[in-house]
Every structure is written in structure tokens, then in C-alpha cells.
């Protein structure tokens, strides 16, 4: 197990290294001159040339990449081209809002998804099951910006139950969490349903019935814990979905997190910030996958670690 963990850690580090390289090259290809952006429109050619020299933009790409990488190892993600701040500072300021949104979305998707899954499995092949599964299919087929805008229209504009956007109170958190969590709720409900059905068909349920335990007790004590375990491991993988989702959700709801930071940086081609957010997201995704891989064998010893 220890060697497995070590190997996976090493692999993760290599993946992140690969991502820094690919992102760096891609952003290097973006047809925009950072020096011109920093200097502003009215700057003279000389000023622009000076800034280029200062930033080392005239160096070959590999020299620039090496400089970026060695900075990264010392925790230095560079400075924003457009805002007078360190990238690390900008991200640190935005990260709590995004984490709050993601944790809240995880709770939302688990509550909605698992409830639907359990009810559907217990009412298998009856009308309730069919309509719940249709809901799940719609949830995984709906783009987040559509869900977000429609929720805003109904619950904020028409009913006035929630604020139209922004950040600060619990009421601000509700609609963005549902928007971000609905996709996962769709997946979890389908997984929970088939996982429940699998367990319901197993010998342990027959044994419990034979022992004369009540149906409710069998379901809550024996079926659900066994059915939930394989699903818990999936949360790590959700991080990837969320990292894409927050760009859209935060822009729809004006949520001041790293998704919005990334989106503003992309629109204004603020390369160090784009690079920084990509690295933070990738690190979160890699760590999520790693966690899932490490948790699965603990939960289900039948899955062997290589």
C-alpha cells in the first residue's frame, strides 16, 4: 500500500508538471502582447520595448518556462499583468468563496442525488421511479448557465425569495449551490439507484429478512450504508466537474471566486492569472482523483491496488 501511495504521488506530481508545460506553451501562443497591455494604449514603442525586456519576454520560450517553474517551486506564481498584485494574492483572496460554493454544492448534490436514488430503487419500475429517473436525465443534460439563469428568473426576479446575485449571506448561496450541484445530483441519483438495487439483491438482505428484521431497519442499517460506500469515492472526481462549473456559475451569479477571476483574466488575456488559476484547478483535480483512488481500496477490499 505504501509503495502504491508513493507511486501515485509521484505520478500526480508528473501530471502537474506536464500541465504547467502545456498551459505555458498554449498561453505563449496567444496572439497578444503582454508588454503592450501593461504599458497601455498611449505608450511609446520604447516603453513597450523596455517592459518586454524587464519581463524577460524576449528570452526563448524554454528560458521563460524555466523561470516560471523555478518561481512556482518557491511559491511564486508571478504578478498579474493588469492588476497590481501577485497572482498568489489574487487567488488566495478568491479561493474561500469558491471553496464555500463547492462544499455547499457537494452537500446539495449528495442530499438531492442520494434521496432520489434511494426512493427510485425502493419504488423500482413504478411511476415514481420513472419520473425521478427522467429528472436525473434532465439534470445531466442541462447546461449550468441555463439552469442558473432560469433559477434566477423564477426564484429571484419573479418570487423574490433570493437575491439576484452577489455574495455574503446564506440566501446568496442557495441558487448557485443548486446550479452547481444539479449535474452531480443527476449522476449520484442514478449511481445510488443501481447501487441500492445491487445490494437489495444480495444475500445479506435475504438473511436479514429471514432474521425477521423490519423493512425500514434493513434498508437504513444494511442496504444504505453498503450502497453509499462506492459513491462516496466519487466525490473526489467531482472536483473536476466543479472546476469547469464554477467558471460558468460564478459568472452567472456574480460570485467572487476563482472561476470569475479566471473568466475575467481570460477576457483581458491576463496570462499569469490564467496560468495560476489553471494550476490551482489542476492541482485540486489531481488531488481529488488521488483521494478517490486511495479511498476506494479502503472501502472495498475486493478492489486490489496494483
| Sites of contact with other proteins (CB under 8 A) | 11, 14-16, 18-19, 22-23, 26-27, 29-31, 124, 137-138, 140-146, 149-150, 152-153, 157, 194, 197, 240, 243-245, 247-248, 251, 262-263, 266, 269, 274, 277-278, 281-282, 285-286, 289
Q: Could you give the CA distance from residue 40 to residue 47 in angstroms, rounded to a whole number?
A: 10
**85: helix, strand or coil:** coil
**Residues 278/19, Cβ–Cβ less than 8 Å:** yes
Pairwise CA distance, residues 101 & 260, whole Å: 13
Radius of gyration of the chain (CA): 24
Distance CA 80, CA 219 (A): 54
* List of residues 6+ apart from 241 with CB closer than 8 A: 183, 184
Cell digits of residue 160 = 423574490
b/e code 21-47 from CB counts within 10 Å (16+ = b): eebbeebeeeeeebbebbbeeebeeee
Q: Find, among 206, 182, 192, 224, the residue nearest to 120 by Cα.
A: 192
DSSP E strands in the chain: the ranges are: none
Give the SS3 label for residue 295. helix
How many angstroms separate the CA atoms of 281 and 283, rounded?
Answer: 5
Q: Phi first, then psi: what are they for 102, rounded to 5°?
A: -70, -45
> Which residue from 32, 34, 66, 70 is spatially nearest to 52, judged by alpha carbons?
34
User: What span, in angstroms and rounded, lies between the C-alpha atoms of 270 and 266?
Assistant: 6
Amino acid at each position: 500500500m505504501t509503495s502504491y501511495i508513493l507511486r501515485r504521488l509521484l505520478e500526480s506530481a508528473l501530471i502537474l508538471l506536464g500541465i504547467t508545460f502545456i498551459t505555458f506553451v498554449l498561453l505563449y501562443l496567444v496572439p497578444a502582447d503582454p508588454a503592450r497591455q501593461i504599458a497601455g494604449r498611449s505608450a511609446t514603442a520604447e516603453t513597450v520595448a523596455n517592459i518586454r525586456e524587464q519581463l524577460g519576454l524576449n528570452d526563448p520560450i524554454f528560458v521563460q518556462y524555466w523561470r516560471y517553474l523555478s518561481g512556482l517551486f518557491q511559491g511564486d506564481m508571478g504578478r498579474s499583468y493588469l492588476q497590481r498584485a501577485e497572482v498568489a494574492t489574487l487567488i488566495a483572496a478568491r479561493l474561500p468563496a469558491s471553496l464555500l460554493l463547492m462544499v455547499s454544492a457537494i452537500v446539495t448534490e449528495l442530499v438531492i442525488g442520494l434521496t432520489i436514488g434511494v426512493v427510485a430503487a425502493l419504488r423500482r419500475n413504478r411511476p415514481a421511479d420513472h419520473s425521478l429517473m427522467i429528472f436525473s436525465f434532465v439534470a445531466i443534460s442541462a447546461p449550468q448557465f441555463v439552469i442558473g439563469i432560469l433559477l434566477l428568473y423564477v426564484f429571484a426576479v419573479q418570487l423574490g425569495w433570493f437575491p439576484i446575485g452577489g455574495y455574503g449571506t446564506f440566501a446568496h448561496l442557495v441558487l448557485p449551490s443548486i446550479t452547481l450541484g444539479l449535474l452531480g445530483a443527476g449522476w449520484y441519483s442514478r449511481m445510488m439507484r443501481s447501487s441500492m438495487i445491487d445490494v437489495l439483491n444480495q444475500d445479506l438482505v435475504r438473511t436479514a429478512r429471514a432474521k425477521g428484521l423490519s423493512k425500514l431497519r434493513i434498508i437504513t442499517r444494511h442496504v444504505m450504508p453498503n450502497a453509499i460506500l462506492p459513491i462516496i469515492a466519487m466525490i473526489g472526481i467531482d472536483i473536476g466537474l466543479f472546476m469547469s462549473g464554477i467558471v460558468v456559475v460564478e459568472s452567472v451569479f456574480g460570485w467572487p471566486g476563482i472561476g470569475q477571476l479566471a473568466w475575467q483574466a481570460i477576457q483581458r488575456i491576463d496570462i499569469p492569472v490564467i496560468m495560476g488559476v489553471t494550476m490551482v484547478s489542476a492541482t485540486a483535480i489531481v488531488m481529488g482523483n488521488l483521494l478517490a483512488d486511495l479511498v476506494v481500496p479502503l472501502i472495498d477490499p475486493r478492489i486490489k491496488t496494483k
